[in-house]
Chain A
Amino acid sequence: MRQPLLLFNAKGIYCAQADVYLDPWKPVDKAIITHGHADHSRWGHKRYITHHTNIPIIKHRLGDIKVTGKEWGETFQVNGVTFSLHPAGHIIGSSQVRVEYQGEVWVFTGDYKTEDDGLAVPYQPIKCHTFITECTFGLPAFKWTRQEEVMGHINDWWAENRSEGRCSILFGYSLGKAQRLLKHLDPSIGRILTHGAIENMTNVIRSIADFPETTLVTRDTKKEDFRGALILAPPSAHGSTWIRKMVPYVTASASGWMTFRGARRRRAIDKGFVLSDHCDWDGLLQSIQATGAEKIISTHGYTDIFSRYLRELGYDARTEKTQFEGELAEMETAKEKEANT
């Protein structure tokens, strides 16, 4: 029997025919990178290949690396294997990787979401035989509300806090969620202030997209500047001394995990907004159907549960162990960034 086109080994997802890794977690010679989150783009590879919009992002995170940029749908060959990148809609610059060899097609999603967030190029289903999917929110309990509605709630929340003289602190990961929130905040309500980790990352992405004006919170920021303002901060800033001078404030978090009442209470956050950069249950199932794939491999999230359900639907589905962590990893990214600033 022929070796599978993509293997899961100790270093990552490996294409032996081309000697190329996809989002490897150990240093390798040649790595195709889906997007800039820390669990997918790691330090130490000799050559990086990614979508060109992701280059400034990973360079900001990883420093001076040797990287080649590709266009959406642009094909490139390595030892008879055809690779191409396609929009994943997860965060700005995020791709799926299509791999084709002798008529057999595999797609690796990295992380993805189906809703158009107005910032990342929207997800496009790609026909394939084997589909390697994340399932961070692979439970029927997860159902997203449309972004327009959620952002409406967030802006209302801010306006109400402002009318009561309070400052609104909104937690979101510094890469991805923060820019998505910023893009859709209503700057007519008040000033938008940022934490250093978010300000730096946003400045990098300003070369690719337009955002409302932001002001970095510094030691010199005056107490009255916080009143009625909205502060964008990474989740790790919650409970830190950094937010103490913003009193009186109200906190909120925007994440898929906010679906659970327990998740919000555990983090001792006032308000939870359910807004995720991953697929919800229906999003996952519809995407899988749209690829036409018969073989489904789940990489991270509620993999065992999700694979079992797919098998009941008639798919040849299994789970592979990876070091991807979905939304949790993004939280760590924020932490690590904060430590660096």
Chain B
Amino acid sequence: MKHFAALIKTLDSTNKTNTKVAALADYFDTVNDQDKLWTIAILSHRRPPRPVNTTLLREWATELAEIPLWLFEESYHIVGDLAETIALIIPDGKQSTEKSLSEFLEEMIQLKAKDEVEKKDYLHKNWRSLDYYERFVFNKLMTGGFRIGVSQKLMTRALSKSTGIDEDILAYKLMGDWSPMKTTFEELILQENAADYISKPYPFYLAYAIEGTVEDLGAVSEWYAEHKWDGIRSQVIIRQNELFVWSRGEELVTDKYPEFEKLVGVVPNGTVLDGEILPFPDGKIGTFNDLQTRIGRKNVSKALLAKTPVILKAYDVLEWEGNDIRSKPFKERRAILEKLFKKTNAHAPVMQLSETLVFDHWESVAKERERSREVRSEGLMLKRKDSPYLVGRKKGDWWKWKVDPLTIDAVLTYAMRGHGRRSNLFTDYTFALWDENETGERELVTFAKAYSGLTDAEFREVDKFIKANTLERFGPVRSVTPELVFEIAFEGIALSKRHKSGVATRFPRILRWRKDKKIEEANSLDDLKQMIP
């Protein structure tokens, strides 16, 4: 734990990626295999189940700090992170611990089954004795979600530096459904292991948004265009008569989408498809809002399955007849995919082919892009015909060319403090549009929340405005005098019963601050509804 806390402290003392990688590689060279394994697990968000709920954590922390609970809550709103808040308000023990990270984690796993008296004892004992960074790390392990500015990619780089194993191979080894409780560092990282190969997806190849103009990409004949579907990026794996569905967040989501069970026996074993899971109500592509009803559910009811079925819009094949074919040119992989579809189509309507489009001129590609909203896509994907399937986000062979977002001018009405990097500043905003109430008066109706799109300097300016123009406080939220107008951009729009305004927008964000506009000039809810396709 001492080493791990020192690592976190070092990572906290630099903003330079290379320094972080070096510190992490150093750490991997220092600690034992068990600690390495747990560190990898934690930094890839595979933490043990939470042993104590946060309500109890708060209560017991305030007890030790001898402050009222409301004061703890206020502090938490300002600090923005529960583990950090607890670490700060506990009187400093200034001691240190000799126990290893793995020993702590094993204790925490055992703790889950213990009664409240033992749990409280355990927490108080450790809070009293650990120093600040150990306490912070201890709380982070307790509360989960270990987000500390170390991406999985950065961790993989460091691990590669320490072990000498290629980064792509490590990324592959680290994917999938492994648990530090059931494997060892030797097994997971160092050994070649065929046993758990059956469920393993490939690392996704991700595209950057296009820079400059499409003409810069060279001859249009070297490129395929494809609509960019707005669903859940997924890999569907059929191996040894079993189905595995992986989402891009490296989550195994097979159970959430039972529709795909039909593919077993139809799609040959040893096949991995890359595509997008899309909602398909009434036999046509739905909105992302439709898909929302499926994402959160682990057990899907028959009624929901009937109302909002899903399909896989497939666009690539990564494994064929049990062979990794990612290094083959995209054109050849597509040929295999199309052959597969010809054979299986009638048996598996749950799977659709995402058509590749070929054009003679970039202008025709641009015209196709304009059609995106009609066909319920977000724009186009441009893929080089001879491109291999790479690992992670890489420039050059694949580009996103999204349609320009829809925009509307809205009024800032509520604000909340940001989290993490933005705690202590009001950076999370709620926006409203004009509407008429029953008596015919104009009033502002909330339609979206957004918390990105302004520069740090602008955020500071808006923060100052909010602090000086607060009308009411509701815990961490403040209502503010309607005075500021912002242009809000969003990707999609649909009717929604879950929203007060009756409309749901997708990826709302602040495009710019319209200092030139008065609130009377902001748009109305009707203007927004006009945009629904």
Interface residues, chain A, with chain B CB atoms under 8 Å away: 139-143, 250, 257, 259-266, 268-271, 302, 305, 308-309, 312
Contact = CB atoms under 8 A, between A and B. Distances in A.
B263 to A, nearest CB: 44
10 contacts: A139-B78, A140-B89, A142-B88, A143-B88, A260-B84, A265-B15, A270-B16, A302-B78, A305-B71, A309-B71
Chain B interface extent, by class: 20 to 34
A309 B67 CA distance: 9
Residue of B12, B15, B16, B81 most packed against chain A (CB within 10 A): B15
B88 A141 contact: yes
B149 interface: yes
B67 A140 contact: yes
B424 A139 contact: no
Contacts of B15: 265, 268-270
B513 to A, nearest CB: 19
Contacts of A262: 79-81, 419-424
Those 3 A-B pairs whose CB atoms lie nearest each other, nearest first: A141-B88, A262-B423, A265-B421
B352 interface: no
B336 interface: no
Contact of B425 (A261, A266, A312): A266
Given A270-B13, A312-B68, A259 B88 contact: yes
B2 to A, nearest CB: 18
Contacts, number: 67
A266 B89 contact: no
A171 B138 CA distance: 31
Interface string B424-454: 1100000000000000000000000000000
Contact of A143 (B92, B420, B423, B425): B92
Contact of A141 (B12, B70, B89): B89
B14 interface: yes
A228 B72 CA distance: 43
A264 B84 CA distance: 14
Contact of A260 (B14, B70, B72, B423): B423
Given A139-B75, A141-B88, A266 B16 contact: no
Interface of B: 12-16, 65, 67-68, 70-72, 74-75, 78-81, 84-85, 88-89, 92, 149, 419-425, 456
Q: Is the interface of B mostly helix, strand, loop or mixed?
A: helix
Contacts of B456: 266
B424 A257 contact: yes
B471 to A, nearest CB: 15
Contacts of B422: 262, 266
B12 A261 contact: yes
A142 B70 CA distance: 17
A270 B12 CA distance: 8
Given A140-B72, A263-B424, 9 more contacts: A140-B67, A140-B88, A141-B79, A260-B424, A261-B81, A262-B80, A269-B15, A270-B15, A302-B78
A142 B421 CA distance: 18
Given A261-B81, A262-B422, A140 B92 contact: no
A140 B92 CA distance: 12
A305 B473 CA distance: 12
Contacts of A270: 13-16
Contact of B65 (A140, A259, A261): A140
B94 to A, nearest CB: 10
Contacts of A302: 74, 78
B73 to A, nearest CB: 10
A169 to B, nearest CB: 13
A261 B79 CA distance: 9
A269 B15 CA distance: 7
A86 to B, nearest CB: 30
Contacts of A140: 65, 67, 71-72, 75, 88-89
Contacts of B14: 250, 270-271
Nearest to B456: A266
Contacts of B80: 260, 262
A260 B79 contact: yes
A260 B456 CA distance: 17
B148 to A, nearest CB: 8
Contacts of A269: 15
